[in-house]
Structures are given as C-alpha cells and as structure tokens.
C-alpha cells in the first residue's frame, strides 16, 4: 500500500501491484478514484494515470517505503508533482476570424488576446489554479 501527499497538499492513498518492471495501481483522493501505471528506480518514480473524469495525468515524485512485517507489502510516503496531459472537457479549438475580403482591420488580434486571457490552468485533480500561482507571483 502506498500513501502520499501530492502538490497542493492533497491527501492520496492507493494500492499498487508490481507487474514486471512497472506497477499497476488504483488510488483515491479528495478528487475521486484514479487508475495508473508507474515505474521507479530507487526513491524516484514516474507514472501516468487516468481519473474517473477521463483526465490523463503524468507525474513524478520521490519517496521512501518499508516492508510490512515479513510480507512483500510495503507502506511509504512521498512527495511529487503532476500535470494534466489530456482533459476531455477542454476544447482544443481556438476561435479565428473569417477571412477579410476588404482592406479593413480584422478582429483576429482581439480574438487571440481574449483566448490568452481565458486560459485556465488546472492542477492534477482538475481544480482551476490562478495564473499568478502558476507563474509564482501570488
């Protein structure tokens, strides 16, 4: 069993089963249930997981664990970071202005500016993160 604390102090508990060089696991946090695959060398690990909303996240972390009694079961703690690689609720289509047939100004620069202002950053659990926090300014 693995217990960890992810970025933004989100408690997480999970169970993984080693299958060859990787581990397949299921976990739960305040954001719901997730399924993932991970690999590690020493105290460093990486993984990819999908949560119940269909978001795919990549993660990396460092931690330590110890055996429970004489069994192969382990308990440990770690810290890591993750990012959403794919979110089915986010559209990848960006607005564009229709082609101009006259020598008049287009709205394309304004649309690009609005698209940039409407960008939302999200953490591994799908919660919106303020842009100032992403840029380390708040």
pTM for the model stands at 0.49
- pLDDT digit string (tens) for 91-112? 665 555 555 555 555 555 555 5
78, 71 contact by CB (below 8 A): no
121, 129 contact by CB (below 8 A): yes
- pLDDT digit string (tens) for 39-97? 888 888 889 999 888 999 898 999 988 888 888 888 888 888 888 899 998 866 555 55
| Encoded tokens for 16 | 């993984």
pLDDT band at 19 (very low <50, low <70, confident <90, very high): confident
Pairing of strands 2-6, 74-86: parallel
Hunting for tokens 């069993």 — which residue is that? Answer: 1
């Amino acid at each position: 069993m693995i217990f960890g604390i992810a970025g933004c102090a989100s408690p997480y508990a999970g169970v993984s089963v080693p299958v060859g060089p990787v581990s397949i696991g299921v976990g739960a946090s305040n954001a719901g249930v997730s399924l993932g695959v991970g690999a590690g060398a020493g105290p460093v690990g990486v993984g990819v997981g999908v949560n119940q909303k269909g978001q795919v996240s990549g993660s990396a972390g460092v931690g330590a664990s110890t055996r429970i009694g004489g069994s192969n079961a382990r308990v440990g703690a770690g810290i890591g970071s993750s990012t959403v690689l794919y979110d089915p609720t986010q559209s990848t289509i960006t607005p564009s202005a229709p082609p101009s047939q006259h020598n008049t100004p287009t709205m394309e620069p304004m649309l690009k500016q609005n698209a940039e202002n409407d960008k939302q950053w999200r953490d591994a659990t799908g919660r919106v993160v303020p842009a100032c926090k992403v840029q380390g300014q708040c």
